[in-house]
Amino acid sequence: MRRYIITAFSILFSVSLIAQNHEVKEDSIKIRQFYNAALVKGQAYKWLDHLSNNIGGRLSGSLNAQRAVEFTKAELEDLGLDKVWLQPVMVPKWTRGAREHAYIQTGPGMTTEVNITALGGSVATSPGGLKARVLEVNGIEDLENYKADIKGKIVFYNRPMKPELIQTFEAYGGCVDQRYSGAEAAAKYGAVGVIVRSLSHKIDEYPHTGSMSYGDLPNDKRIPAAAISTKDAEYLSGILKLKKDLEFYYKLSSENHGEVKSYNVIGEITGSEFPEEFIVVGGHLDSWDLGDGSHDDGAGVVQSMEVLRLFKETGYKPKRSIRVVLFMNEENGLRGGNKYAEIAHSKNENHIFALESDAGGFTPRGFSFEADDAQFAQIESWKPLFKPYLIHYFERGGSGADIGPLKKGDIVLAGLRPDSQRYFDHHHAATDTFEHVNKRELELGAATMTSLIYLVDKYGMRHINLQTDKKL
Amino acid sequence: MRRYIITAFSILFSVSLIAQNHEVKEDSIKIRQFYNAALVKGQAYKWLDHLSNNIGGRLSGSLNAQRAVEFTKAELEDLGLDKVWLQPVMVPKWTRGAREHAYIQTGPGMTTEVNITALGGSVATSPGGLKARVLEVNGIEDLENYKADIKGKIVFYNRPMKPELIQTFEAYGGCVDQRYSGAEAAAKYGAVGVIVRSLSHKIDEYPHTGSMSYGDLPNDKRIPAAAISTKDAEYLSGILKLKKDLEFYYKLSSENHGEVKSYNVIGEITGSEFPEEFIVVGGHLDSWDLGDGSHDDGAGVVQSMEVLRLFKETGYKPKRSIRVVLFMNEENGLRGGNKYAEIAHSKNENHIFALESDAGGFTPRGFSFEADDAQFAQIESWKPLFKPYLIHYFERGGSGADIGPLKKGDIVLAGLRPDSQRYFDHHHAATDTFEHVNKRELELGAATMTSLIYLVDKYGMRHINLQTDKKL
């Protein structure tokens, strides 16, 4: 009897192993198909070419943002998805106005031009510009040390990104408060303006814009805020050591125009077995206005579209409903992300997984996940499938701004993690342009995303799929 | 008694664990120091700036190659190493001569200019150039299919690098024979010339040169060989389908000048405990002449120099003798690599490890190793120390051309493996220039190399150090 039990057990075990090996083999073949299709006949780079070179920068509320909505909607329709629609959302409209101008004045007639750009959301200077003495500080906390000295001055935030941090997003995270909240903080001490060192490791002449907020400051207390290039920041800091009472002049013509209507662009392949379970893949369609937004986040947009195209191209019919969501207004309001989540939650849609690509179109290294232990263990079990593609990074961590509002219940959020070394060289600057995206790197990212979405679709996510798992 | 044994064993085991943990902690602190020093006050990028922008392309036998020898020797001397010397080596001297010229002629007066570059080692055309009909083939094996049709024609090798291979070096390996041996093979069938599609994934206007050989073909059978840009290769292939009898014209003024004297540049920190054990780290000082050789292999040169500088900077005194070797003539002869090995072997120097960086200055992903099982197991045990730096790739595989000749006995050879996606966009082309090297990516490579050399120095390599291990 015992022998029979052992034999039966062995057979069962073998059958289960064979079945498992069969699955692994099927998965690795499918994943190889995705990479082949992305690298040999990919569409992502062509889409990005159009988005970057035929459309260009896509600031929320701009005509270009609307052109991007129409272009991507038409392209998704051409893919033959089950549904494509626009989701209306009100977004803030801010305009830069005429080109900014700035200089350092060290004496009568002794001026040095400075490359400057208004921060997104900043008020303008008076039409004649603003000229004042400068106080350099090393971040917001440092204001406290100079509080008696701030009134009537332009505060110059010059804390650099830490070069020793390996992941550049960490270095960015350690400095971005001076850009986002620096004006609010300095205004409270009586500063008349704020200039910020651009958030980039690279010492060059390009100023980097980005969002800022005045918090609850009343309108009449709001002071104009701008970024200067890292090269100019180094120069200004050096020259201030020689001449503390130099003056800085700048002129901004930016303007806040209230809210206007815009759209998230959404496409869906409806699931064949569990159409009520949703998996989202997305990036954001808006960008800053200085470059053409190729890395931030044209790359994420076209990679997300490519995920659904690669499913079609390779004949994969998802069990669950896969949505590509091209979010509007990540950069200066997150209205698109909030709107998508609001509607999904109000309809009680069961979102099990969302993946965002918003860290540039560089060589993918892996993903970071917001997941519980069981979910993460399941995801980690897929790691070997990615090894042939040099995808090694599976860690817990933040996902993406646009999908953040979807967090509720058991949903797993994920972010594509490309190599980050060059990202901030281009981020929000005039150099975020098409020629800085490498075709293969972009395509590898798209294939990597497709492979993950395929696995999530095929196996579902633990914890959430108790019902559907029973059916399997 | 048994209890005492168990207790004694537990104590011993704990002591050993504590010692091991202490080592791991010491190693991770030291490695963090290397990365910090490389990223915060690195020298590699400044050296590369000089090598690329003040010197430039460094073809073997050129004045620039000699300038590079003198510059790097002086810089190594400034580091305060224990020894710096030049190792003489005879190298082939080949010159490109006047700028190449080529066009496609589809009818009287109907010509289209083509971007062309002589392959290194090619003979010239006659002074008036060469004009003939073209036969397109898909690699050397394909010649057989057209053998009756080759005589009097220019053979056009147009096999593209396979885009679906993840590691671009594999795709390169699958095509490089048409560049290296294509002329020899085609000449045997009576071809009058050879043009080769540039070895790059990118479709652009830059032709990529590289070494070629006529094998044992007598001088009067040698035919001129050149590369055309991928864009021109696509164009020529397309237009050939419309007009099979079009003519291709090209003019090369290249010349082989025999051998001239040059040098490997070598610096050494002599080991404090085992000075007779040598560890080599290096790259090659020569480059092709079209760009400034920043990625191939200026990056490897300055990273290797930086390894010894980082040891000095962080106060690490190696137990074993660490040599930086800047090899001459990797590109068209490998004379430097052969000479270094010849002398090392003739002196019976005990080389235990050699590391080459010759795959570009891109974000490091890890290393490939030529090692036996025990050696590789030892190396793999260090992997966790590299994880904080996103170094995941430890695989067996080829190392580097220059250190290959050192292979003898138990030596372990290793190659730095940076991200390879963009490498062949620049390789041997006019676009291999300084601005395509990212400072942080270069520095991360140098720190990664330093960390590996540190571990090899500290622990030695299994199998080889039976004697020294006894002393420990």
Q: What is the pLDDT of residues A288-306, one digit of tens each?
A: 999 999 999 999 999 999 9
ipTM: 0.93
Q: What pLDDT is recorded for position B2? A: 57
Beta-ladder partners of A227: A117, A196
A–B interface: beta-carbon pairs under 8 A: 63
* Calpha distance B436→B296 (Å, rounded): 11
| Residue A6 confidence (pLDDT) | 58
Q: B465 falls in which pLDDT band (50, 70, 90)?
A: very low
Q: Would the CB atoms of B163 and A440 count as touching at under 8 Å? A: yes
Active-site positions of A? 330
Mean pLDDT of A443-459: 98
A245 DSSP 8-state letter:
T
Find out whether A52 and A32 touch, Cβ atoms under 8 Å: no
Percentage, residues of chain A above pLDDT 90: 92
Chain A residues in contact with B440 (beta carbon < 8 A): 163, 168, 201, 421-422
Query: CB-CB: which of A390, A421, A441 is closest to B440?
Result: A421
Q: How far is B127 from chain A (nearest CA, A)?
A: 39
Residue range A411-425: mean pLDDT, rounded: 98
pLDDT of residue A7: 61
Query: What pLDDT sits at residue A472?
Result: 36
Q: Among B363, B388, B421, whose Cβ lies nearest the Cβ of A438?
A: B421
pLDDT at A12: 60
Residue B6: the pLDDT is 58
The distance of A164 to chain B (nearest Cα, Å) reads 5
Nearest beta carbon to residue B393 from set A167, A390, A425: A390
- What is the tens place of the pLDDT at every residue in A360-388? 999 999 999 999 999 999 999 999 999 99
* pLDDT tens per residue, range A68-90: 999 999 999 999 999 999 999 99
Distances B270 to B84, B276, B320, B324, B466 between C-alpha atoms, Å: 11, 9, 7, 11, 21
Cβ–Cβ < 8 Å for B241, B54: no
Residue B471's pLDDT is: 38
Q: For residue A389, give the chain B residue with the closest CA.
A: B166
Number of H helices, E strands in chain B: 14, 16
Q: What is the pLDDT of residues A93-125, one digit of tens each?
A: 999 999 899 999 999 999 999 999 999 999 999
Residues of A in contact with B39 (CB under 8 A): 163-164
Q: What is the pLDDT of residue B463?
A: 60
Which of these is catalytic: B184, B330, B356, B443? Answer: B330
At B336-356, the pLDDT tens digits run 999 999 999 999 999 999 999
- Nearest CB partner across the interface for B201, out of A167, A393, A440: A440
pLDDT at B440 over 80: yes
pLDDT confidence of residue B466? 47
Which DSSP helix (H) or strand (E) runs through B223?
Answer: none
When the pLDDT of each residue in chain B is averaged and rounded to a whole number, the result is 95
Calculate how close chain B gets to A77, using CA atoms only, in Å.
28
**CB burial of residue B467 (10 Å; 0-12, 13-18, 19+):** exposed
Asked if residue B251 has pLDDT above 60, the reply is: yes
Answer yes or no: are the C-beta atoms of A144 and A206 closer than 8 Å.
Answer: no
Q: What pLDDT, on the 0 to 100 scale, is given for residue A20?
A: 78
Looking at chain B, which residue has its C-alpha nearest residue A393? B390
The residue that leads in pLDDT, A464 or B221, is B221
Give B438's contacts in chain A (Cβ within 8 Å).
421-422, 425
What does the DSSP 8-state code read for residue A183?
H
- Strands B393-396 and A393-396, bridge-based pairing: unpaired
A163 and B40 within 8 Å at the Cβ level: the answer is: yes
Contact residues of B toward A, CB < 8 A: 35-36, 39-40, 163-164, 166-168, 201-202, 363, 365, 388-390, 392-393, 419, 421-422, 425, 438-441, 444
* Cβ contact, residue pair A419, B419, below 8 Å: yes
Residues of chain B with Cβ-Cβ distance to A425 below 8 Å are 438
Neighbour-count burial of A95, counting CB atoms closer than 10 A to its CB (0-12 exposed, 13-18 middle, 19+ buried): middle
Chain A residues closer than 8 Å to B389 by CB: 166
pLDDT classification of A5: cutoffs 50, 70, 90: low
Please give the domain boundaries of chain B with CATH numbers for all domains. Answer: 30-94+258-471 (3.40.630.10), 98-253 (3.50.30.30)
- Say if residue A420's pLDDT is above 80: yes
Task: Tell me which chain A residue has its CA closest to the CA of residue B419.
Answer: A363
Least confident range from A9-13, A166-170, B57-61, B99-103: namely A9-13
